[in-house]
Amino acid sequence: MKIATFNINGVKARIEALTTWLQDSAPDVAVLQEIKSVDEGFPRQAIEELGYNVETHGQKGFNGVAILSKFPLEDVTRGLPGDDTDEQARWIEATVIGEKALRICGLYLPNGNPAPGPKYDYKLAWMERLYTRAQALMALEEPALMCGDYNIIPQSEDAARPDAWIEDALFRPESRAAFRQLVNLGFTEAFRARQQGAGPPACRFARPHGQAIGRDY
C-alpha cells in the first residue's frame, strides 16, 4: 500500500495541483494537512472522480485535515481525544480496508511559535494528548500509522541551518523530547528507517515537512 502525506496549504486554491499529483504519484492513500476548508466546502467531487474515498475534518480558513483512499474507509473519528474544548481541526482517524486493515491517523501538529508562550503551551499539551492516543493505539496490537505535518525538527541534521532554529518551537528540547517519547513507544519513524543522517535538501527543514511513524503487527 502506497501512502503519502501532503501539506496542501489551502485545498481549494490548489485543487488542480492536487489532482495532478494524485494522478502522477497514484498513492493508495493520501493524508492532507492545512486544507483550510469546512467539510461542506471541500472540493471532493474532483478527487472522488479519480477513484478516492474522501473523509475530512475541516475548519474555515485554518488547519483542517483529510484522508483520501482508494480503499474503503471505516470507523472514521475526528478530533484528538483528551480536550473537548479544542476546536482546532488537526486530527482525523480512519481504518483503511485493504489487503490488511490499517488504522491511519492524519495529523497537523501545532506550530507553537512564538515560544515560550500560550501557543507553545498548547503545542506541548497537544503532544501529551497525542502520546496518550498513541499508547491506546499500541494497546490494540493492530497496524497503525500516524502521519502528517508534525512541526518538529527531530535531529539537528534535519535542518539545513540548525543554529537558526535553536529557539524555535519546532526545535526546542521539549518538542524534540515529546516526539522521541512517541517513537519510543515502539513506533518506527518512517524517514529514519530509510535514511540515516541528513537527507537530501528537499527533505531537510527549510519549513516543516511530512513525517510518519507507524507500528506493524
Alpha-carbon distances, residue 91 vs 31, 82, 108, 148, 168 (angstroms): 11, 12, 7, 9, 23
Q: Which of 39, 75, 83, 108 is catalytic?
A: 108
pLDDT in tens, the chain (217 residues): 999 999 999 999 999 999 999 999 999 999 999 999 999 999 999 999 999 999 999 999 999 999 999 999 999 999 999 999 999 999 999 999 999 999 999 999 999 999 999 999 999 999 999 999 999 999 999 999 999 999 999 888 888 888 999 999 999 999 999 999 999 999 988 888 887 776 554 443 333 345 555 444 3
The answer to whether 108 is a known catalytic residue is yes
Name the burial class of residue 64, with classes exposed (0-12), middle (13-18) and buried (19+) by CB atoms within 10 angstroms of its CB.
Answer: buried
All structural domains of the chain with their residue ranges: 109-217
Query: Which sign does the torsion angle of CA 42, 47, 48, 53 carry?
Result: negative
Report H helices in the chain: 15-25, 44-48, 118-140, 173-183, 190-194
The single-letter code of the amino acid at 46 is A
Q: Which of 149, 150, 158, 168 is catalytic?
A: 149
For domain 109-217, give the fold: Deoxyribonuclease I; Chain A (3.60.10)
